[in-house]
C-alpha cells in the first residue's frame, strides 16, 4: 500500500520574515540563525534531546541536529500582519509554524456534514467556530476544524478564545498529526473533550479526561454507534451520518 503523504510540514521562513522578527525583538537576546527556513538556536546545535523534549515535536524535527527556536503568538501575529502567510494555510504549534496542505474532497464533505449537524443541535449559547484560531497557550494557536465555545468564554476573550468545550478535527492525510501531536496539545490545554473523525478507518475517536498532558480515556466508535458529548450534551452524532 502506498503511504499517504502527511498533510502537515514545517513552514519555512524567508530572510525578510526573519529580519522582521529580529527587528521586533522576537528572539529576546537569544542567539539564533536562519537555516533552511528554520530559526535555529546557535548554542543548541548538535545538543542531544531528552525524550520529554521530543514528545510534542513534529516528526520532521525529531531527528534534526539542532533545536528550533520557538516563537510565541505575538511574533506569529506580527508575521501574519505583515502578510507573510497570505494565501497559505498555517497554524502555530508549540512555537513552530506548521504548513497545512489544501483540504481534499472527502475532508471538505465531512466538514460540511458536521457543520449542518452541529448547528442544527446548538442554540446561541454555544458558538460553533469552524477553522478559526484557538489560543491554547503562549506558543500554540491551532485552527481546528471545529471548536464549540461557550458564550461566556467568547464574551471574555479579548481576541481568540483560549479554550473550548469540545474540539473536533477531521483526519484524512493528517491522521497521525490529529491523533498524535494534536491530542497531546489539546490535553495539555485541558480541553475536556476532543473528537477525531477518522476518515481512514471511518470511526469517531473520542478523547476524554485530560490529565498530565495526556487524555486518559480514548474510545473508538464505528458506524453503528451514536455518540453524545459528555461536556455539551446537546451534541449527539450518529457516526454513520458523518461519513
Summarised one tens digit per residue, pLDDT across range 119-165 is 999 988 899 999 999 999 999 999 999 999 998 888 877 789 999 99
Question: Same domain, yes or no, for 202 and 152?
Answer: yes
Examine the domain organization and report whether 193 and 116 are in the same domain: yes
* Distance between CA atoms of residues 167 and 229, nearest Å: 11
Q: Which of 55, 84, 100 is a domain's end point?
A: 100
Tell whether 94 is covered by a domain: yes
pLDDT at 63 over 70: no
Are residues 121 and 91 part of one domain? no
Is 3 contained in some domain? no
For the chain, how big is the Rg over CA atoms in Å?
A: 19
Nearest-angstrom CA–CA distance, 117 and 204 = 15
* 71-112 tens-digit pLDDT: 999 999 999 999 999 989 999 998 999 988 778 899 999 999
**Residue where one domain finishes, among candidates 69, 100, 131:** 100
12 domain residue, yes or no: yes
Distance CA 222, CA 16 (A): 48
**pLDDT value at residue 59:** 59
Specify the number of domains making up the chain.
2
Q: Is the pLDDT of residue 55 over 60?
A: no
**206 — phi, psi (to 5°)?**
-105, 125
Do both 133 and 229 map to the same domain? Answer: yes
CA distances from 69 to 21, 28, 103, 151 (A): 12, 11, 29, 36
What's the CATH number where 190 sits? 3.90.1570.10
Query: Is 64 part of a structural domain of the chain?
Result: yes
Residue where a domain terminates, one of 49, 67, 100: 100
150 and 214 assigned to the same domain: yes
Res. 1: pLDDT tops 80: no
Higher-scoring residue by pLDDT: 61, 230: 230
CA distance 219 to 30: 43
Helical H segments across 7-134, by residue range: 15-23, 51-54, 59-62, 73-81, 105-121
- Average pLDDT over every residue of 184-203: 96
Q: What is the pLDDT of residue 171?
A: 93
With CA atoms as reference, report the closest residue to 186 among 114, 130, 125, 135.
135
Residue 144's domain comprises 105-242
Q: What is the DSSP string of 51-86?
A: HHHHTTS-HHHHT-SS-BPPP-HHHHHHHHHTTTTT
Q: Does residue 1 lie within any of the structural domains?
A: no
Amino acid at each position: 500500500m502506498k503511504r499517504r503523504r502527511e498533510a502537515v510540514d514545517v513552514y519555512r521562513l524567508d530572510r525578510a520574515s526573519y529580519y522582521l522578527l529580529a527587528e521586533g525583538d522576537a528572539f529576546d537576546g537569544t542567539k539564533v540563525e536562519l537555516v533552511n527556513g528554520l530559526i535555529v538556536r546557535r548554542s543548541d546545535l548538535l545538543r542531544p534531546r531528552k525524550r520529554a523534549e521530543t514528545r510534542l515535536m513534529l516528526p520532521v524535527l525529531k531527528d534534526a541536529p539542532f533545536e528550533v527556536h520557538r516563537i510565541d503568538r505575538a511574533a506569529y501575529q506580527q508575521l501574519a500582519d505583515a502578510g507573510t502567510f497570505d494565501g497559505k494555510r498555517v497554524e502555530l504549534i508549540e512555537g513552530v509554524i506548521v504548513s497545512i496542505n489544501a483540504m481534499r474532497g472527502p475532508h471538505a464533505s465531512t466538514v460540511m456534514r458536521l457543520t449542518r449537524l452541529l448547528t442544527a443541535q446548538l442554540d446561541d449559547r454555544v458558538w460553533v467556530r469552524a477553522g478559526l484560531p484557538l489560543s491554547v497557550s503562549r506558543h500554540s494557536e491551532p485552527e481546528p476544524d471545529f471548536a464549540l465555545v461557550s458564550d461566556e468564554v467568547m464574551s471574555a476573550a479579548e481576541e481568540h478564545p483560549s479554550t473550548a468545550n469540545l474540539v473536533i478535527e477531521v483526519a484524512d492525510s493528517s491522521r497521525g498529526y490529529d491523533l498524535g501531536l494534536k491530542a497531546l496539545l489539546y490535553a495539555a490545554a485541558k480541553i475536556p473533550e476532543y473528537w477525531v473523525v477518522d476518515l481512514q478507518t471511518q470511526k469517531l475517536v473520542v478523547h476524554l479526561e485530560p490529565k498530565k498532558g495526556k487524555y486518559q480515556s480514548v474510545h473508538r466508535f464505528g458506524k453503528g454507534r451514536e455518540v453524545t458529548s459528555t461536556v455539551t450534551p446537546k451534541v449527539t452524532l450518529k457516526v454513520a451520518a458523518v461519513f
